Structure formats: structure tokens, C-alpha cells
Amino acid sequence: MSKFWSPFVKNLVPYVPGEQPKLSKLVKLNTNENPYGPSPRAIAAMQAELNDSLRLYPDPNGERLKQAIADYYGVQSSQVFVGNGSDEVLAHIFHGLFQHGRPLLFPDVTYSFYPVYCGLYGIPFETVALDERFRIRVEDYARPNGGIIFPNPNAPTGCLLPLEAIERLLEANPDSVVVVDEAYVDFGGETAITLVDRHANLLVTQTLSKSRSLAGLRVGLAVGHPELIEALERIKNSFNSYPLDRMAIVGAAAAFEDRAYFEQTCRQVIASREQLVGELQRLGFEVLPSAANFVFARHPGRDAEGLAAGLREQGVIVRHFKQERIRQFLRITIGAPEQNQALIDALAGLC
Ligand SMILES: Cc1ncc(COP(=O)(O)O)c(C=O)c1O
């Protein structure tokens, strides 16, 4: 705290990202990164871009990338917004599409950045409790609201909401923007982008940090009605005209164009997840059904915080949240097979 801080800064409660440890020997299963590298085509495209053109600003609209995303999903590029990670895209959405008198709704257990954005932009919100099996029940969102947002699959639970339920929610809330945050959808969900032409109030966000293994590049996107996209462009052009650098534009576009590599690595992560779920269950864990690149698990006889500390002593890091309803759970990222094995070996000594 300093006397130079504005009252606004004094009152902020910032998001705390998962630890990025300096020790490279750790088995890092705490921030849902992809154990497989990015597409070789993405790397090659970025290497080719590493030249004298870096003296020039990038395309402020990232058209090359927007077109690659539009082609991938069969939409128009006017329906696509791109930004510096989906966190930035989400920030613009909160700023531009949720600032209304009524509360924003999101689940009680969800991505913990949402309340932080509400604090940053002064947006009132109410949380809606997940059901007893940690699932979103769309009927519970039938109350006055200034917008709705949830990840699908949800984070940190991994539970998936079917598209048919999302469509019911959109129809019940025609005057609110409904944002489906699909950070993890490629690991077992179906994208709601197929619904954007029918629902002008739907905005879908995605990231290249997880299924496309480019967390270090910082690229995220939103797809929706051109008028929703225009609101985001207005915010972006009032904040930072060039959120994506030259490397990010070509690397992300090439990642979208390399469908075969993407599909193969997603399949590998899904297969590892199914194997890991079986092994955790054999150790006595209850594991929520996951459609993501992580699992959310609790052990009836072991304290989760103690387990996380015990794992850490053995060089394995997972994520533990202190929120009351989920404090007995661990969120475990699906790693490469040898990382998952190291986790199971370490847990076997603790359970
Ligand atoms: C649900 C959810 N949304 C969005 C993000 C942000 O992703 P990024 O900013 O890396 O694109 C994350 C990251 O963990 C997430 O879990």
C-alpha cells in the first residue's frame, strides 16, 4: 500500500494465477497446460515471421487469424474477435457487454477470474449454486440478470453442460448476453459456436492455451453476432490497438490450420484422462466426470490440502482451492503418461 495509490487500486482484489515454479524438475499439473508441444506448423510459421518485418506494427485486426478461425468454424470473420489470451477477451466482454443495472449471474463454483473482473469494472453479480453433483442447472438462472457467464466444461469441476441446455438458457434470456467460456471444450465437449447464427445474444470464447498448447503465446478469441463483436472492437481500440503481435497472429492461424495435429494431441490427452480417472478411483478417490484436460477429485479419508502439500514434497504440483464448497478437492491437470504415473506413485504413498 502506498500513498500514491488511488482508492480504486486500494480496493481491487486481484486474481491469483496458479504457480509457475522456477524448478524445471517438478511434475507440473497445476495450470492445465498441454503436455504436448504446439503444432510444428505453428512453430515454423512463427520462425518464418522472425525477421526484419518486426520493425512494423502488426495488423491491428489480426485478419489473417480471424479468417483462419472463421474458416475452421464456418462463420464470417466479422463474427470473430481475437485478443491477448481469453482472459483479455473476457475482460473486454465484462467491460462492454455486462455493465448494466442488474446482476451478472455465474455458478458458485467456477473460474475465479469472473468476480475479479466484476470488481475491476464495478459490475454487480450473484452466484448460482451448482446442484449436489456439481452440475449447472439452467432452470436456476431464471431470475433478473444483466448477463450470464459460465465455462463449458465448467472449471474447476470439468463437468459439461449439453448444447440442448445452453439453447434453453439462451431462449429464456433473450435480453441478456450469455457467454459460454469454452477454454476446455476440445477435450470432450461440443462447441456452442454452431448456435451463434440462431442466437444473437450468444458469445462463445475460446483459448489457444489449452487444446492448442500455446499458453505462452497468449491468444484467445470470441465468436458471436457481429454487433457483439463490434462492442469488443470498440473497447479494444480504446485500450490497446495491437493486442496480438506478429508472431501470435501467424502462429495461432497455423495452429488452427493444422487440424490433424490438434485432433491427435486432444485424443492423447483424453485417453490419458480416462486412464488417470481409473487409477485415481483405484486409490479411493471420487472423481467428477470430466470433459476437460483436468480432473477434479476428492478422497473420502484424506484432507485435500494435506495431500497437495504431500505431493509437493515429492515434486508434484496440483491445484487446491480454499473455497469452502470445494476445499476437499484437488484439481489435477492431465499430463504426459510419465507425469500421470509420477502423480499416481506419489499419491499411492499418501492414501
Ligand atoms: C475457464 C477459463 N477461462 C479462461 C481462461 C484463460 O485462458 P487464457 O487467458 O490463457 O486464454 C482459463 C485459464 O485457465 C480458464 O480456466
Q: What is the percent of the chain where pLDDT is above 70?
A: 100
pLDDT category of residue 1 using cuts at 50, 70 and 90:
confident
112 in Cβ contact with 320 (< 8 Å): no
pLDDT digits over 319-336, tens only? 999 999 999 999 999 999
Residue 24 in this model has a pLDDT that exceeds 80: no
Where are the extended beta strands (E) located within the chain? 27-28, 80-83, 104-107, 125-128, 148-151, 178-181, 202-207, 220-224, 286-287, 294-298, 316-317, 329-333
Output the average pLDDT for the chain: 97
Give the Cα separation of 310 and 277 in Å (integer): 20
Which atom in ligand 1 lies closest to the alpha carbon of residue 209? 10
Which atom in ligand 1 lies closest to the alpha carbon of residue 86? 11
Which atom in ligand 1 lies closest to the alpha carbon of residue 111? 1
pLDDT digits over 279-308, tens only? 999 999 999 999 999 999 999 999 999 999
Give the Cα separation of 93 and 293 in Å (integer): 25
pTM: 0.97
Whether residue 151 has its Cβ less than 6 Å from ligand 1: yes
pLDDT category of residue 341 using cuts at 50, 70 and 90:
very high
pLDDT of residue 23: 72
pLDDT digits over 212-254, tens only? 999 999 999 999 999 999 999 999 999 999 999 999 999 999 9
Residue 19 in this model has a pLDDT that exceeds 90: no
Whether residue 220 has its Cβ less than 6 Å from ligand 1: yes
pLDDT digits over 134-179, tens only? 999 999 999 999 999 999 999 999 999 999 999 999 999 999 999 9
Which atom in ligand 1 lies closest to the alpha carbon of residue 151? 1
C-alpha cell at 147: 448477463
Closest-CA residue, ligand 1 atom 7, reads 86
**Ligand 1: distance of its center to the CA of 304 in Å?**
23
**Ligand 1: distance of its center to the CA of 183 in Å?**
6
pLDDT digits over 74-98, tens only? 999 999 999 999 999 999 999 999 9
